[in-house]
Amino acid sequence: MIGLGRMGTNMVKRLMKAGHQCVSTTFTRSGRRAREEGATGTTTLEEFAGKMRKPRTIWLMVPAAVVDSTLTALVPFLEKDDVIIDGGNSYYHDDIRRAAELKEKGIHYVDAGTSGGVWALSVDTA
């Protein structure tokens, strides 16, 4: 998970509760709390990509305005068949462009706008 604001942190907590191993990168207090609860924390995108098993699945929970700059910094550390999921509120035309650009590198891009707000961790989905 890249982007551990309230929603990203709660998503990591929910994933770990379900038995998934999570790697995160952030400098926020929320990110430190996620690491304290068992997520593997990193401080650079290179370290982040290096801690994951291949093929990697990377979920972005960053504001739409920084998706492109995040991808520019991240993609050099990725390989064919890695998957990037954009869980933010990106404009769909931007997602179509990103998917086409990443496809040329063999990287899969999924637009999956995520809802649930900051309270979603406490919602019982069972």
Give, as one character, the DSSP assignment of residue 84.
E
What tens digit of pLDDT does each residue of 25-79 get?
865 655 566 666 788 888 889 999 999 999 999 999 999 999 999 999 999 999 9
- In a domain, residue 105? The reply is yes
In a domain, 125, yes or no: no
The pair of three-digit structure tokens given for residue 44, joined into one six-digit string:
């650079």
- The structure tokens 């038995």 sit at 19
Flag whether 65 is in a domain. yes
Query: Per-residue pLDDT tens for 81-106?
Result: 999 999 988 889 999 999 999 999 99
> Looking up tokens 């907590």, which residue turns up?
13
Would residue 110 count as lying in a domain?
yes
Q: Among 51, 35, 48, 56, which Cα is nearest to 2's?
A: 48
Q: Is residue 88 one of the residues assigned to a domain?
A: yes
User: Cβ contacts of residue 100 below 8 Å, gap of 6+?
Assistant: none
Question: CA-to-CA distance for 58 and 42, rounded, in angstroms?
Answer: 14
Residue 122 lies in a domain: no
- Domains: count for the chain: 1
In the predicted model, is pLDDT for residue 125 greater than 60?
no
